[in-house]
Structure 1
Amino acid sequence: MDFLRGRVVLLVLVLVSACIATRLPIVDLGYELHQAYSYNETSGLYNFSNIRYAAPPVGNLRWRPPVAPTVNRSVVHTGSRGRICPQATPMWETDIAPDFVVSVIEGVPYTGPTNISSFSYTPGTPDPRTTEDCLFLDIVVPKKIFDRSQNKTSVPENATAPVLVWIFGGGYTSGDKSEESPTGLIERSLKGGKEGIVFVALNYRLGAFGWLAGSSLTGNGTANAALYDQRFALDWVYKNIHLFGGNPNRVTVMGESAGGGSIEHQITAFGGSRGPAPFQQAILQSPGWYPVPEQDEQEDTLQEFLGLLNVSTIAQARSLPSSDLIAANAYQVAKTQLYGTFKYGPVVDGVFAPELPGMLLLEGRFDHNLSIMVGHNANEGLAFTPPYSVESDGLELLIKSHLPEISANAENYITNVLYPANYSGLYGYNTTVGRSALTIGDLVFSCNTDYLNRAYGNDTYAYMFSIPPAIHGQDVPYTFYTPGVSSASDVESTYIADVMQDYFTSFVETGVPNSTIGPVFEKYGARGRLLNLGLTNITAMQDPTRNPRCKWWQKGLYFPHN
């Protein structure tokens, strides 16, 4: 009898699931029909997962800009198969940095390994979602917003909702669109009777698949292919988001770390020569990339990658199976010898990135018609600072290894004027590690926010995340705080998380960040004021990135100019 009862219960569950699936809405994208993957009764959110926005970038489409998907209306796509681009993580990040960072924070000597080359590489178990065919995006939308756009030949613009597009970070070699749940952020956007937002998250090619560059690729491929992925996805949003209740003329892009760095490249795309960006606002959190002033600097990396594949040309690499390329990419990035770097990332290619973004901003070559919010963490550089920085000549060693073509005069200026060996605290550090960490933090992350503030005439909003230890990436759980989920344990102050989400969502909705429970968020202004988000309070203060160091870095004086 119990057996029979169990079979009946199982049958009922199957029938209920089938019934729910048939009720989930289907959106006609023209090239395909896509059904919502799920509906959350509690939150009232539809999840449209794994919507294809581009054709598979495989075979002859490797290392080229994305192209439109082929028409496939023979089936209803549900997005049930997860999609992430091939991943890779350097061993310094997994095997050295965690313990070294903890030792610095706790003030104890570091006794762990320092020699990256001594580590043996063991391939990890690949995520079953991993595929080169990964150019997909997710859309999460409140039911009330989605329903307004349905069964109508024309939807008035004032009936559509603002859109937030998330571009994930991960050193340009790891990460995916589904890493963070937007539920808490969207729910916050609905509080107090507000209209709410439509959330979009997109994949882009990573590592060698998205960032291969060098003279051997010129003429037979495209450097910075991942930037073209992002642009293609943003154009897709502009063309299609109305079908989900979103307003294509109220799009805010948001990203952290590599995501924020990508957005800064989108703001300066083509030196501003090809019209406006396909978005109206941007929130850049810790925008970061290691500056590569010309793509030929990546030729050695390209040749190393081809060598791992046992081929000599790009054309030959295009003919190989995905498994070979995925394995070579994972190995190459894992064995990255230059501590704090990820082997791949955006480069100056003369086209999409005609110069470094900071220089383009300085020269006025960018989309001027955007509303901007920027944020950085108080201790951005520590997670990327090598253990040898404990030595008295640590900064000098770092400069020589990370900027090998720097002139003697520029090196002297960095180490004796900008970041002198003065540990009194006058320059923002009191240890050799702090000195190196500030240098890396400025060059790779923090100064990028200063460039934007000044480029937009200080008519921006800026904040600094200072909850100790305020290291890079620590703010992400606050951005996506959802009570009751596992990542919520990384949030020490739910008050700060709530206020941050208020600021973000109100900026998306109105262009002005505000919160009913937080202080007024004033514009950056001529005085260079930002909001400092501490553990127990939020206060206005002078932006520490508003300094001569950032102005010097922006000019690119640390590399030879032709």
Structure 2
Amino acid sequence: MKNLTWLLIFAPIVLTHSTHIPPPTAITRNGTIQGIQLPFFQQDLFLGIPYAQAPRLDNPQPVNTTYDHDSPFDASRYGNTCYGFGSNELLGLTQSEDCLNLNIIRPSRTIEENNANPFPVLFWIYGGGLHQGSSADPMWNLTYIVQRSVKEQQPLIAVSINYRLSFLGFPGGREALNAGITNLGLMDQRLALAWIQENIVAFGGDPSRVTIWGESAGGVSVFQQLVAYGGHGGTELFSGAIAVSGFATGSALPETEKMQDGFDKLVTRANCTMAEDKIDCLRRTSLYNLYPAEGSLGGGWGPVIDGDFLRRPAAWEIHDGNCAHVPLLLGSNSDEGLIKVTASGYFPNKTSEITSLLETNFPRLQHSVIEQLLDLYPEDGRGEAPPYSLPPDFAWCEAMYAANLPCGSQYRRAAALLGDYVSHAPRRYMAYLWSRLGLPTYSFHFKAVTTGIPIQYFYGLGPGFANHGAELAYEMGLPGGFTTPIQFYPPVKNVSGHLALSMEMNRRWIAFVARKNPNELKGMYGYTIEV
């Protein structure tokens, strides 16, 4: 099914090569970019445009290549993906250190029309735990939300980017701090936003109306961009922000020193222990040696407080108003905790096992606090879904076994507890802090009983619930059915209702991008959809 998904997404691109429609072009600061047309969608695509250079373990640098009219940059296919672990390998994407590129999707129209009425811009930052992800992932296909924006008579341009991941994007430790190379992936994102400011006019976009949008680690990235450099310069790059299922609370950011252990292990495995300059040694080490060594260490790389790009935890900065003052839309899903429980390796069947899970993952929690939490999240005694979580409409254990996972009769009890901790409470707290500054703040809670993502694709998300990432296919407006990117497992009872929900979410995202208010809809007002 994965191959079929790719075929469906790229089929319109292949078809354009057999036509005689002149390819769309745009003249940027670096010269002429030549894209392709999607006649069926009436869209122009510019794919894989370099926005920066990525020297290993160093800050991103501007592109120094120029393209003339007679030899334009070929933007007809996705560019390289940054090195990562997980979906990047599963999808068979071409990974490279030369990966800082972006994609632009716009409605087709003349240059005169572009100049007369430029489009607002939706800037997508993918998630993936900061160790996987790519703008070429078919789940991030922005064609459909652009198509919906035209139908809503408020067209927009969509942009997606690649940024460096894992240790190559988020090195930590004393050496990285002293070298000034922490938070490189975030700096990649920042430079991409600067590139948009300089060049999006050439594509018919309005640089004064850029909305940044991210999910999971992309949502965390959005908050880091909001507080970067103490909030300075943010409003010059974007005018609105959407963060879903990813929030930068104080507990989410370790000090640089706390990543020293991972750095030391990487140095050892890369045979750089005796080097006088360990950063330089890692830069010179063959990627074929460095990449497996990095992957064997697992996760742990991420943003750190470095006193420069990130001066303090985001919640502290927002509390004091040190952030970009722009409208904010944020949300989370009912069953966010499913992935957290699975990642912990616990599939609890009794209360004592949930206690062990909490003690292992939160060693600073006092036992009295754990007991209070267990009282607040009771098990109903029948092994069914707890009252605070969405009920399954199928055999839970049967579905878990089908995914080669243990059943865990109290699995969802633990998931509800962790979901509140990592997602719902941070969402509500961030919404409170933002609105406290007098800024427009909108919050949503997604609870459609489905998965939108094939269980075979994202291990551990679980079928049939509003789990982490389940809302993405709805936000993106991907069409439903067995021959398109959305896969319902098990088959849902009301497909038309889910498609209507997706359209409604599309409309509200578009309204936020266009007018910074998801409730200011064109045409009929929103409505309640039973799914």
Question: Which TM bucket (shorter chain)?
Answer: 0.7 to 0.9
2:467 match: secondary structure: coil
The equivalent position to 1:373 in structure 2, one of 329, 345, 348, is 329
User: 2:210 matched to which residue of 1?
Assistant: 251
- Is contact 1:267–1:277 with CA below 8 Å preserved after alignment? no
Farther-moved stretch of structure 1 (46-55 vs 457-466)? 457-466
1:68 aligns with 2:93: no
| Partner Cα distance (1:489, 1:87) in 2 | 25
1:348 aligns with 2:342: no
- Is contact 2:171–2:182 with CA below 8 Å preserved after alignment? yes
1:453 match: secondary structure: helix
1:411 aligns with 2:409: no
State the one-letter code of the partner of 1:365.
N
State the one-letter code of the partner of 1:293.
P
Equivalenced residues, count: 453
Aligned ranges for residues 97-496 of structure 1 at < 5 Å? Answer: 127=92, 129-144=94-109, 148-149=113-114, 155=115, 159-179=117-137, 180-192=140-152, 194-274=153-233, 276=235, 278-288=237-247, 291-312=252-273, 313-333=278-298, 342-367=299-324, 369-385=325-341, 386-388=344-346, 390=348, 391-404=350-363, 406=364, 410-412=365-367, 414-420=369-375, 423=378, 428=388, 432-457=410-435, 459-468=440-449, 469-483=465-479, 486-490=484-488, 492=495, 493-496=498-501
TM-score, normalised to structure 2, is: 0.78
Instruction: Give the deviation of 1:373 after TM superposition.
Output: 0.8
| Partner Cα distance (2:335, 2:19) in 1 | 51
State the one-letter code of the partner of 2:44.
Y
Structure 2 vs 1, CA of residues 317 and 412 (structure 1 numbering), >3 Å: closer, same or farther?
same
| Partner Cα distance (2:16, 2:421) in 1 | 55
1:487 match: secondary structure: coil
1:170 match: secondary structure: coil
State the one-letter code of the partner of 1:25.
P
The equivalent position to 1:504 in structure 2, one of 509, 513, 516, is 509
| Partner Cα distance (1:16, 1:263) in 2 | 35
Structure 2 vs 1, CA of residues 209 and 535 (structure 1 numbering), >3 Å: closer, same or farther?
farther
Instruction: Give the deviation of 1:321 after TM superposition.
Output: 2.6
Structure 2 vs 1, CA of residues 457 and 84 (structure 1 numbering), >3 Å: closer, same or farther?
same
Instruction: Give the deviation of 1:292 after TM superposition.
Output: 3.0
Cα deviation digits, residues 362-383 of structure 1 (max 9, x gap): 233212x201111100111111
State the one-letter code of the partner of 2:315.
G
User: 1:99 matched to which residue of 2?
Assistant: none
Query: Unpaired segments of 5 or more residues in structure 2?
Result: 1-13, 381-385, 391-408, 450-464
Structure 2 vs 1, CA of residues 316 and 182 (structure 1 numbering), >3 Å: closer, same or farther?
same
Cα deviation digits, residues 189-226 of structure 1 (max 9, x gap): 1114x130001001110111111111121212411111
Cα deviation digits, residues 421-471 of structure 1 (max 9, x gap): 651679947975345323432333223322331122264111111012111
Instruction: Give the deviation of 1:25 after TM superposition.
Output: 2.5
State the one-letter code of the partner of 1:366.
C
**Sequence identity, in percent?**
26
TM-score, normalised to structure 1, is: 0.74
- Is contact 1:211–1:346 with CA below 8 Å preserved after alignment? yes
Cα deviation digits, residues 220-255 of structure 1 (max 9, x gap): 241111111111111111111111000001111111
Instruction: Give the deviation of 1:507 after TM superposition.
Output: 1.2
1:302 match: secondary structure: helix
2:303 match: secondary structure: coil
The equivalent position to 1:45 in structure 2, one of 37, 43, 46, is 43
- Is contact 2:164–2:188 with CA below 8 Å preserved after alignment? yes
| Partner Cα distance (1:15, 1:370) in 2 | 41
| Partner Cα distance (1:268, 1:376) in 2 | 21
State the one-letter code of the partner of 1:40.
L
Cα deviation digits, residues 159-193 of structure 1 (max 9, x gap): 1111100101111111111222112111111114x
Structure 2 vs 1, CA of residues 435 and 271 (structure 1 numbering), >3 Å: closer, same or farther?
farther
Cα deviation digits, residues 79-100 of structure 1 (max 9, x gap): 34631111213xxxx9xxxxxx
Cα deviation digits, residues 117-153 of structure 1 (max 9, x gap): xxxxxx968935110110000000011276523xxxx
1:78 aligns with 2:36: no
State the one-letter code of the partner of 1:72.
T
Query: Unpaired segments of 5 or more residues in structure 1?
Result: 1-13, 95-122, 150-154, 334-341, 522-532, 537-562
| Partner Cα distance (1:124, 1:41) in 2 | 31
Instruction: Give the deviation of 1:402 after TM superposition.
Output: 3.1
2:252 match: secondary structure: coil
What root-mean-square deviation, in Å, do the aligned CA atoms of Structure 1 and Structure 2 show?
3.0
- Is contact 2:78–2:103 with CA below 8 Å preserved after alignment? no
Highest CA radius of gyration, 1 or 2?
Answer: 1
- Is contact 2:247–2:427 with CA below 8 Å preserved after alignment? no
Instruction: Give the deviation of 1:351 after TM superposition.
Output: 2.2
| Partner Cα distance (2:486, 2:377) in 1 | 39
Structure 2 vs 1, CA of residues 181 and 472 (structure 1 numbering), >3 Å: closer, same or farther?
same
| Partner Cα distance (1:186, 1:256) in 2 | 18
Structure 2 vs 1, CA of residues 323 and 518 (structure 1 numbering), >3 Å: closer, same or farther?
farther
| Partner Cα distance (1:358, 1:475) in 2 | 25
Instruction: Give the deviation of 1:72 after TM superposition.
Output: 2.8
Instruction: Give the deviation of 1:498 after TM superposition.
Output: 0.7
Cα deviation digits, residues 295-320 of structure 1 (max 9, x gap): 21111111122222222311101012
| Partner Cα distance (2:19, 2:233) in 1 | 48
User: 1:29 matched to which residue of 2?
Assistant: 28
| Partner Cα distance (2:65, 2:354) in 1 | 55
Farther-moved stretch of structure 1 (293-302 vs 44-53)? 293-302
2:189 match: secondary structure: helix
- Is contact 1:33–1:77 with CA below 8 Å preserved after alignment? yes
- Is contact 1:52–1:137 with CA below 8 Å preserved after alignment? yes
- Is contact 2:16–2:37 with CA below 8 Å preserved after alignment? no
1:457 match: secondary structure: helix
1:376 match: secondary structure: strand
| Partner Cα distance (2:236, 2:356) in 1 | 40
| Partner Cα distance (1:432, 1:145) in 2 | 58
| Partner Cα distance (2:269, 2:94) in 1 | 24
